[in-house]
Amino acid sequence: MIDRQALRRDFDSMQAALARRGEDVVGAGSAWAKVALLDIRQRELKTESEALQADRNRVSKLIGQKKGAGEDASAEMAAMGEVARQAKALDAQAKDAEAEFAAALLEIPNPLHDSVPNGASEDDNVEVSRWGNPRMDEVPPHWDIGVDLGILDFEAGATLAGSRFTVMKGAAARMERALMQFMLDLHADAHGYQEVWVPAIANSKTMTGTGQLPKFADDLYKLEGEDAFLIPTAEVPVTNLYQDKILDASELPKRHCAYTPCFRREAGSAGRDERGIIRQHQFDKVELVHITTPERALSDLEELTAHAEAVLQALELPYRKVELCSADIGFSSQKTYDLEVWLPSQNCYREISSCSSFGQFQGRRAGIRYRDESGKPQPAATLNGSGLAIGRCLVAVLENGWQSDGSVLIPQVLQPYMGGMQRITPN
């Protein structure tokens, strides 16, 4: 959530930062225009309230004077009643205006950091670096590899749940588990994250705290008749572990890693990646979350991204690091790096991790605060990133490890997690 004081103090610069996203900041029906008008209305109501209070004080003083002099104060008493009625009506208006203003603020995205490159689409994202040598020979897509090996069953997934669900069998099921364990061990043991195990269901307050609600309600699975949603990412429950808490600066940064299943309706992706397991309604992911100070946010982003990169390097999967431009960055993000793994069947890099700094945006929404040097509570900064999306990792391992005899070589670091298995072969 944007800072209310900054809305007034830095209105023009904040408006310019939002305009870089392609947000409508001029149209009368835009969320930004609505917030600006409601802010003006709130200030008007405050002025009216202060005037009424001054009038009440004046009349009250006059009543006291008249009564003290033994004079009739009935007219002033009647005037005081009218002032009280107006004050009550004004308080109700102010309460409604505050609720409307607070709801409107939730619709405003995070203003971008100055370092985010401008752009009109994802084509304007900026490549930062590459690692590894992409495989350039002809490789079948992972859905053919998986079916030929008997380890991916798309028909069973569709029968059990519908489209965009898959059943993994044998080596694929074990590799999914192996990838999860390997990632958690790496982040907890080598990178110093505290592992947590969290619910895969969150309430609306928790979803609002990290920015999934109200903006992305159509992408969520809601439990019928309950204030409960299946989580789209572990970012939601892990960040909200500190919901409405005040931390000491000495405790920061707090760094957690977590595995969860994730659930997304993918309402806006019809026709995209319909085959295979690149885009599923249910998928597994290991998430990295930092709770830190605003001063550390950008340096922590570099650190968090490097930790996600370490997974790809250990698996020997070629990838590139991309900085998202102003038109492609997420609603809650202030600055984002994507990691894209090489898929030889598609002859291109595909996203496997998105690492973002949110500044104090989520801290304000979720009430996550820390005490600064003066002891005053301030909204904390938050970050998160996939470390990594497990299903997409499995896809990359199948394609990059595929051999001409139809088998798949298993990365060396995964072999201990798969009982020493070095290669996946048919049956």
The pLDDT of residue 157 is: 97
The pLDDT of residue 183 is: 98
**Which pTM does this prediction carry?**
0.90
Q: What's the half-sphere exposure (Cβ side, CA atoms, 13 Å) at 253? A: 26
- Residues 293-322: what's their mean pLDDT? 98
CA 160 to chain CA centroid, Å, is 30
Q: Which amino acid is at 402?
A: W
For 72-118, the pLDDT digits (tens) are 877 777 877 777 788 888 888 888 888 888 888 899 999 999 999 99
> How far is residue 305's CA from residue 298's CA, in Å, rounded to a whole number?
11
For 331-359, the pLDDT digits (tens) are 999 999 999 999 999 999 999 999 999 99
Instruction: Inform me whether the pLDDT recorded for 329 exceeds 90.
Output: yes
Instruction: Inform me whether the pLDDT recorded for 399 exceeds 80.
Output: yes
The pLDDT of residue 269 is: 63
For 258-274, the pLDDT digits (tens) are 999 999 997 656 667 78
3-state per-residue secondary structure call for 243-294: CCCEEEHHHCCEEEEEEEEEECCCCCCCCCCCCCCCCCCEEEEEEEEEEECH
The residues annotated with a catalytic role in the active site are 264, 279, 351, 354, 392
- Does 352 show up as a binding residue in the annotation? yes
- Does 351 show up as a binding residue in the annotation? yes
> How far is residue 22's CA from residue 326's CA, in Å, rounded to a whole number?
8
> How far is residue 280's CA from residue 282's CA, in Å, rounded to a whole number?
5
- Using pLDDT thresholds of 50, 70 and 90, give the confidence band for residue 153: very high
Instruction: Inform me whether the pLDDT recorded for 12 exceeds 90.
Output: no
The H or E element containing residue 424 is strand 423-424
The pLDDT of residue 271 is: 67
The pLDDT of residue 268 is: 59
Cβ atoms of 298 and 304 within 8 Å: the answer is no
- Does 272 show up as a binding residue in the annotation? no
Give the domains, in start order, of the chain with CATH numbers. Answer: 4-106 (1.10.287.40), 122-424 (3.30.930.10)
For 27-71, the pLDDT digits (tens) are 777 888 888 888 888 888 888 888 888 877 887 888 788 778 887
- Does 384 show up as a binding residue in the annotation? yes
Q: What is the number of other CB atoms lying within 10 angstroms of the CB of residue 319?
A: 28
Average pLDDT along the chain: 93
- Does 110 show up as a binding residue in the annotation? no
- Does 345 show up as a binding residue in the annotation? no
Q: What's the half-sphere exposure (Cβ side, CA atoms, 13 Å) at 184? A: 17
> How far is residue 81's CA from residue 104's CA, in Å, rounded to a whole number?
35
